[in-house]
Chains A and B, each alone.
Chain A
Amino acid sequence: MKYLATAAVAALLTATTAMADGHSVVRMGTEGAYAPWNFLNDAGEVDGFERELGDELCARAELTCEWVTNEWDSIIPNLVSGNYDTIIAGMSITDERDEVIDFTQAYTPADPSSYLALSADTEVEGGVIAAQTGTIQAAFIAEQGWTVVEFATPEETIAAVRNGEADAVLADKSFLLGAMDGSDELVMLEREESIGGGVGMGVRESDADLKAAFDAAITSMKEDGSLNALIVKWEVASTFE
């Protein structure tokens, strides 16, 4: 028993494979539940705007990338403890998050958020609004002093409006448009909120090289227009000038 334990500890401490240099593989962390930004396709693989964008960025930066999904709730803690190397999950750049992690430059411009409700004359001010936990939308509603009900996944925020638990849901317009698709009970309200500062990729604060590599790749995609083409293809946001 004692030998077994010693052997196990020894194996744990020395287990290693051939090469182990820095970022020979960059692990890309995403949520996989926020179409059209990122979602799992029928084959169970990560798909969407950010999948295509991320693969292109990795190709331009000459990095080998691997995709990993993680719950939205714990997506930042798992980045800083090193379970993956980037967050590419439709995350808006905010000062609050910037204190904990670093962001690359934005790969989509700052866009307003929209409401989805059961009827077009829903009054959102002072109402009960659903939002995903830890999003800029949830923070915004709380600031206004309205009632916010938070859910762990985007799917549940929509379900809350359908079953009347919330009057409306506040989220990125592109996600709500996708969720409305094929359903005639939900309508988008005219009111929009200008919150957030564009969506960027999150990296650890100590990972300056990786940040620089992705910044350069994003700049090159902006310059040759391929980034705008991707944004249009997936209808995720407005395009860059």
Chain B
Amino acid sequence: MSCYLTTGKHMGFYWSFLTVLSLLAITAPLSLSFGFGGAVAARSRIAPLAWFGKGYIAIVRGVPDIAFFLFFVIALDQGIEYLRHQVLCPDWPDAIRQGNDFLVCPEAKMPLGNAPQWLHETYGFFLAVFTFAIVFGAFAANVLFGAMRAVPKAQLETAEAYGMTRRQTFWRIIVPQMWVYALPGLGNLWMVLIKATPLLFLLGVEDVVYWARELGGTKTPRFTDYPHGDWRMWYFLVLLIFYLAFTRVSEIVLDRLMRRLTRGQATAAGEAQRKAAA
């Protein structure tokens, strides 16, 4: 049994949990910053910037995730290679599109054709991170845009009365206070993001779902030292427990965070906290 659980394949399975966790660790802050940027742009008084912000939010939120994941990653990959091709091989004689083939010069391949496999996998992983960040950034932008508007008007008027500029009001009054309004929405996004990680599998990254399916599949004695029947159910059960435990822990952390952010806020919950303490 312990031999079975430590085969090279199982090691791949365990590593893939780390892949999922690091995806979350990198994607969450990145999409939050995309969201912040999007919200600030959408609020901007400069019309083109506001159009850009609103367009980003509307388009990405409107396109089905799966379509976005299937199309965008290939487009991004080919776009990067196209740019590199223009810069690195300006005198390349052949067309880039030949029938069905997408052909850039060998120097422009990303990563290079002779790069080791781990580099290809890392590159694929970061394409995935970037795509996730764009998608979830749009939702986060919408949440933050609303949260910025939810900061009580009286606070802003007071700031103006003290002679703060628009910029000062934004950084000193709106940003510190908006989180309490944003957290429920952002918390939801975080939960959805956790559950969206199996989409990695669609992007060709060998994630937990890939390995669960591979390991659980029927194995006949001819090709393995550990033959077994269809065990996919058990492997997927492990994934179920993993995801349930993970979302539960997230809920607890989000609750604590909410309590911390509510402190001293001009909301009903903040008022209740103040009274309880008094």
Q: A24-B113, A42-B224, A47-B223 are in contact. Are A68 and B9 (CB under 8 A)?
A: no
8 Å CB contact of B102 from A67, A71, A82, A100: A82
Q: Determine the distance from Cα of A86 to Cα of B84 in the docked complex, in whole angstroms.
A: 23
| B100:A80 contact, CB within 8 angstroms | yes
| A42:B80 contact, CB within 8 angstroms | no
- Nearest CB of chain B from residue A116's CB, rounded to whole Å: 12
Q: A16-B112, A20-B107 are in contact. Are A44 and B217 (CB under 8 A)?
A: no
- Nearest CB of chain B from residue A174's CB, rounded to whole Å: 11
Asked if A21 is an interface residue, CB under 8 A from chain B, the answer is yes
Asked if A35 is an interface residue, CB under 8 A from chain B, the answer is yes
Across the two chains, which residue of chain B brings its CB closest to A204? B101
Q: Determine the distance from Cα of A32 to Cα of B206 in the docked complex, in whole angstroms.
A: 12
Across the two chains, which residue of chain A brings its CB closest to B83? A13
The segment from B114-122, B158-166, B253-261, B263-271 found at the interface with A is B114-122
| B220:A181 contact, CB within 8 angstroms | yes
Across the two chains, which residue of chain A brings its CB closest to B70? A74
Q: How many residues of A contact B (CB 8 A)?
A: 56
Asked if B218 is an interface residue, CB under 8 A from chain A, the answer is yes
Interface string of A187-207 (1 = CB under 8 A from B): 000000000000000001110
Interface string of A15-35 (1 = CB under 8 A from B): 111011111110100001101
Asked if A40 is an interface residue, CB under 8 A from chain B, the answer is yes
Q: A16-B107, A33-B217, A41-B224 are in contact. Are A85 and B113 (CB under 8 A)?
A: yes
| A205:B114 contact, CB within 8 angstroms | no
Q: Which residues of chain B are within 8 angstroms of A100 by Cβ–Cβ distance? A: 100
Across the two chains, which residue of chain A brings its CB closest to B87? A13
Q: Which residues of chain B are within 8 angstroms of A54 by Cβ–Cβ distance? A: none
Q: A12-B84, A181-B220 are in contact. Are A33 and B214 (CB under 8 A)?
A: yes
Asked if B61 is an interface residue, CB under 8 A from chain A, the answer is no
**CB within 8 Å of B: which of A158-197?**
158-159, 162, 178-179, 181-183
Q: Determine the distance from Cα of A27 to Cα of B113 in the docked complex, in whole angstroms.
A: 8
| B103:A206 contact, CB within 8 angstroms | yes
- Nearest CB of chain B from residue A183's CB, rounded to whole Å: 8
Interface string of B1-40 (1 = CB under 8 A from A): 0000001110110000000000000000000000000000
Asked if B65 is an interface residue, CB under 8 A from chain A, the answer is no
| A13:B84 contact, CB within 8 angstroms | yes
Q: A68-B120, A81-B74 are in contact. Are A20 and B106 (CB under 8 A)?
A: yes
Asked if A45 is an interface residue, CB under 8 A from chain B, the answer is yes
The segment from B140-148, B169-177, B225-233, B236-244 found at the interface with A is B225-233
Asked if B251 is an interface residue, CB under 8 A from chain A, the answer is no
- Nearest CB of chain B from residue A2's CB, rounded to whole Å: 12
Q: Which residues of chain A are within 8 angstroms of B113 by Cβ–Cβ distance? A: 20, 23-25, 27, 82, 85
Q: Determine the distance from Cα of A43 to Cα of B223 in the docked complex, in whole angstroms.
A: 12
Asked if B247 is an interface residue, CB under 8 A from chain A, the answer is no
Q: Determine the distance from Cα of A40 to Cα of B110 in the docked complex, in whole angstroms.
A: 26
Q: Determine the distance from Cα of A80 to Cα of B216 in the docked complex, in whole angstroms.
A: 31
Q: A42-B226, A181-B222 are in contact. Are A12 and B112 (CB under 8 A)?
A: no
Q: Determine the distance from Cα of A101 to Cα of B7 in the docked complex, in whole angstroms.
A: 37
Q: Which residues of chain B are within 8 angstroms of A48 by Cβ–Cβ distance? A: 223
Q: A81-B102, A162-B230, A206-B98 are in contact. Are A35 and B220 (CB under 8 A)?
A: yes
Provide 24 A-B residue pairs closer than 8 Å at the C-beta atoms, listed in order of the A residue: A12-B110, A13-B84, A13-B87, A16-B112, A17-B112, A20-B107, A22-B106, A35-B220, A40-B214, A42-B7, A42-B8, A43-B8, A43-B9, A44-B12, A45-B8, A66-B117, A68-B120, A80-B102, A81-B102, A101-B100, A178-B220, A179-B220, A183-B218, A206-B98
17 more CB-based (< 8 A) A-B contacts, given A36-B223, A42-B224, A80-B102: A13-B83, A13-B84, A16-B112, A23-B113, A24-B114, A25-B114, A32-B214, A33-B217, A39-B223, A43-B8, A43-B9, A44-B7, A45-B8, A47-B223, A81-B77, A82-B109, A206-B98
